[in-house]
Amino acid sequence: MKNRLNLVATAAALAVGISGPAVAGSTDGKIQVKAMATLVAPDGKITSVELDNIGLPAGTQTEADDNFVPTIAAEYFFTPNFSLETICCVTQHDVTGTGPLDGAGLVSNANIIPATLTAKYHFGDGSGFKPYVGAGPTYFIFIDEKAGSTAQALGATRQKMNDKVGFALQAGFDLPLNDKGLGLSVDAKRYFVNTTARWYAGDTEVLRTRHRIDPWVVSAGFAYRF
């Protein structure tokens, strides 16, 4: 876990560092970094129950809560219209029951690193308002998730979410605020990721479910291009 978090911290430090005052900004530079506020709104619904040794009530469903997190993005422009972008953030979510288990705490403090790389196409001639679309792979890394309060009361001593590969679609725009590389950026991504959740009593697996994560990730903030 420490290695994963250290990797995130290092990437963030590098992204911030390259935007320092020693680098001259330009609206047509090759590199762009962004510091943004981000809403992460996942789904979390159960798509199938693969193992049930505790007797889930019929009609049981789940949902994941939303979260606001800071995000760092780094982007390289191969041409004025084509770029590759990666993001760096950690988001934390709880999963609770709906239906017969409404409000039941099932997963607590699931930290997710959504490692994502998108290829982006920017419309326009390189100046002024520039909308874009993008798409690319993602790898969701789950860290330190725990059984929720209700699951613990039912005897679950630990909980595990599987790391998963998925796909992301992206759209947004960049708007220069001056001719020194500073700009405004608004971005929306829709992820398509499923995962498997497992609950254990001691070393014995007692429940295994498949979940649709599929979060909307909406960001707004400042960009610096050089």
pLDDT at residue number 25: 82
Phi-psi region of 157 (alpha: psi -120 to 50; beta: other; left: phi over 0): alpha
**With bands split at pLDDT 50, 70 and 90, how would you rate the model's confidence at 28?**
confident
Residues 127, 74 contacting (CB under 8 angstroms): no
* Banded pLDDT at 11 (limits 50, 70, 90): very low
Output 8 or 55, whichever has higher pLDDT.
Answer: 55
Name the residue ranges covered by the structural domains of the chain. Answer: 2-225
Please report which confidence band the pLDDT of residue 54 belongs to, taking 50, 70 and 90 as the band edges. confident
Q: Does CATH place domain 2-225 in 3.30.1370.100? A: no
| Distance from C-alpha of 64 to C-alpha of 141, rounded to nearest angstrom | 16
End-to-end alpha carbon distance in the chain: 34
Q: Which pLDDT belongs to residue 124?
A: 84
Mean pLDDT, residues 66-87 taken together: 97
Check residues 220 and 59 and name the one with the higher pLDDT: 220
Q: What is the pLDDT of residue 149?
A: 93
Asked whether residue 41 carries a pLDDT value surpassing 80, the answer given is: yes
Residue 8 pLDDT greater than 50, yes or no: no
pLDDT single digits (tens) 140-167: 999 999 999 999 988 899 999 999 999 9
Region 32-39: mean pLDDT is 98
Cβ neighbours, 10 Å, residue 87: 27
* pLDDT (0 to 100) of residue 55: 86
- Residues contacting residue 224 through CB under 8 Å, at least 6 positions apart: 19, 25, 32, 33, 34, 181, 182, 183
| Least confident range of 13-27, 82-96, 142-156 | 13-27
Q: What is the mean pLDDT of residues 160-178?
A: 96
